[in-house]
Amino acid sequence: ILRRAARYYFSNLNYKEPLLYKLVPVVSNQFKDVFPEVYSQKDFIIKIIREEEDSFLKTLDNGLKRLNAIIKLLPDNPESFIEGKDAFELYDTYGFPIDLIILIGKEHNLKVDEEGFEKEMQKQKNRSRAASIIDTEDWININENNSPKFVGYNSSEIESKILKYRKTKSQGKESYQIVLEKTPFYAESGGQVGDTGVLIFDGEKIPVVNTKKENDLIIHFTEKLPANIDGNVVAKIDIDRRKRIAVHHSATHLMHAALRKVLGNHVSQKGSLVSNEYLRFDFSHFAKITDEDIKKIESLVNEKIRENIPVVIKETQKEEALATGAMALFGEKYGDTVRVVTIDPAYSIELCGGTHVGNTGELGFFKITSETAVGAGLRRIEALSGKAAEEYIQNEFDIIRVIRDSLKNPKDLNKTIDNLLSENGELKKQLDKAEASQLASLVENLLKQTETVGHVNFIGKQLEVKNADTLKKLCFELLNKLKGSGIVILTSLIDNKPFVALGIDETFVKSKGLDASKIIKENIAPLIKGGGGGQKTLATAGGQDSSKLGEVIEKIKSML
């Protein structure tokens, strides 16, 4: 609804800036007795709505231009309609909901091929589904036990036995899933990745590549089965990897608390990933976090690391835990008994089933590496701690050292780089100016060589240009200069590979039903053993065989 309203004021009122957020104070005041929570949170709502308007308006302009271009190329008759693939492109690329496309279509007396749109949507779903289909056989029971146990909080290596296993096949590759009577392997859950390690059967080592949970079963993923499947097994996790994961999980708790202290209590977790390589944290917030606030968050977390605070973990009743102020996380399901992870009772108390360090000092150092938007009112932080943070900082220092050495170790590195960028910008302007002058001269020269072929102004030439973009730009400029009656075909050998650009004036596209993209794909690309495409008025192709490049221009001329 918000996007439809934004599109209305953008197109019909010619208002190009965010507008709806300004109405929040009026509406929230009128309804404060009915919806008091809207009135009490109006400042937060204003920020979220403005963020959404800003985001949508950026894509709206380009999306409307694309839609208008589609409409403009449609034949002028009552049977015209917006094709399903075009509607899906607007949805997929520009975020236009199908009802918005239908609405704009009605304004132009056009229907939308909704069935075609749904087919394109289904194709995309099928592609995603096909990539993830796993063919799973039935379980084969080895030993009976209805309550397999996880003992990995306190043990990294134990002796166990197989309860059951099954074979799976995905994209032609066979693998196995194994359930043990008891296991130290943590199964992927709560954002924390699953453990890896080995299962040892009478000296035979079977690598465990992942561990996941299915209902109450902890499933170990392997690429083969042992020769002796009935015997005892030593289950041993990759302890170094587990420690790195634990470091990032404890760092996530410290960062979550820091976010709430620096940004406000509206911050709440909306998703997370905790791995041995890094941590990722999605949370509710209405705007980009400033560099100053990122420094404050990092500083607060590193302060808690230096304090070497014990990470206290205990099991208790859920209601009792929540009464103490423990935070329950988004998307998690909790039983009556829960694990409470406390890092300073005045700082962080969360319900969590993951693995953690013993003291915050084990984290060593914490560094945020990126902060981005993933949706309206939703931000994402990626960060590092422990060994991963140390490796990151070392790599950054190596890069700076290489830059310093390349620039002869200047006293003020920032100033030197600024001067280089400024100098490079000036040189680029001069180069662009020279290239523009050269292209203008080339365009004028080519216009003088215009032929008349079958009542059509025709330009066909092989040129020497430095890249395919220049060839395309020349084709576009020539088409404009021919003013409504031209067809242009340009070819070039660039880095020993053939490239072609074909431009057809819009009048011929409409009156003769010509399509540059179709001609490129069907008539030109096969000649040069390549591929291509584009729009009906301008299309390009690239290939591997330059021996037939000379025939391309004659091919188009003969078609005329």
Asked if pLDDT for residue 407 goes beyond 60, the answer is yes
Asked if pLDDT for residue 535 goes beyond 60, the answer is yes
Name the band, by pLDDT with cuts 50, 70 and 90, for residue 395.
very high
Region 451-465 average pLDDT: 87
Region 367-392 average pLDDT: 92
Give 27-62 pLDDT, tens digit per residue: 999 999 998 888 888 888 888 888 888 888 887 877
- Contacts of residue 434, defined as CB under 8 A and 6 or more positions apart, other chains included, come to none
Q: At what angle do helices 291-306 and 239-263 cross, to 10 degrees?
A: 130
Give 108-141 pLDDT, tens digit per residue: 888 899 999 999 988 888 877 666 666 788 899 9
- Contacts of residue 198, defined as CB under 8 A and 6 or more positions apart, other chains included, come to 205, 206, 207, 208, 236
Name the band, by pLDDT with cuts 50, 70 and 90, for residue 331.
low
> 232, 221, 217, 176: which is closest to 197 by C-alpha?
221
Bridge partners, 462 (sequence order): 491
Asked if pLDDT for residue 299 goes beyond 70, the answer is yes
Bridge partners, 166 (sequence order): 177
Asked if pLDDT for residue 305 goes beyond 90, the answer is yes
User: How much of the chain, in percent, has pLDDT values that exceed 70?
Assistant: 98
Tally Cβ neighbours within 10 Å of residue 512. Answer: 11
Which has the higher per-residue pLDDT, 368 or 103? 368
Asked if pLDDT for residue 337 goes beyond 60, the answer is yes
Asked if pLDDT for residue 374 goes beyond 90, the answer is no
Written as one letter, the residue type at 181 is E
Going by their DSSP bridges, the two strands 204-214 and 173-180 should be labelled as unpaired
Average pLDDT value for the chain: 89
Report for 89-103, 128-142, 325-339: range of highest mean pLDDT: 89-103
- In whole angstroms, give the CA distance from residue 448 to residue 256: 68
Name the band, by pLDDT with cuts 50, 70 and 90, for residue 466.
confident
Asked if pLDDT for residue 363 goes beyond 90, the answer is yes
Q: The tokens of 367 are what?
A: 């560094």
Contact 58, 10 (CB under 8 A): no
- In whole angstroms, give the CA distance from residue 18 to residue 463: 47
Contact 38, 45 (CB under 8 A): yes
Contact 181, 150 (CB under 8 A): no
Report for 170-174, 187-191, 193-197: range of highest mean pLDDT: 193-197
Region 423-433 average pLDDT: 91
Contact 446, 461 (CB under 8 A): yes
Q: The tokens of 511 are what?
A: 């009156």
Tally Cβ neighbours within 10 Å of residue 523. Answer: 15
Name the band, by pLDDT with cuts 50, 70 and 90, for residue 346.
very high
Name the band, by pLDDT with cuts 50, 70 and 90, for residue 482.
confident
Contact 486, 479 (CB under 8 A): yes
DSSP H or E run through 271: strand 269-274
> 307, 208, 193, 331: which is closest to 249 by C-alpha?
193
Question: Which region among 15-24, 290-299, 323-332, 378-387 has the lowest average model confidence (pLDDT)?
Answer: 323-332
- Contacts of residue 203, defined as CB under 8 A and 6 or more positions apart, other chains included, come to none
Q: What is the pLDDT of residue 224?
A: 93
- In whole angstroms, give the CA distance from residue 15 to residue 496: 50
Asked if pLDDT for residue 152 goes beyond 70, the answer is yes
> 15, 10, 124: which is closest to 65 by C-alpha?
10
Contact 152, 185 (CB under 8 A): yes
Tally Cβ neighbours within 10 Å of residue 71. Answer: 16
Q: What is the pLDDT of residue 246?
A: 97
Q: What is the pLDDT of residue 333?
A: 66
pTM, full prediction: 0.64
Contact 499, 540 (CB under 8 A): yes
Give 203-249 pLDDT, tens digit per residue: 999 999 999 998 889 999 999 999 888 889 999 999 999 999 999 99
Region 278-306 average pLDDT: 95
Q: What is the pLDDT of residue 154?
A: 92
Q: The tokens of 355 are what?
A: 């693995």
Region 307-321 average pLDDT: 91
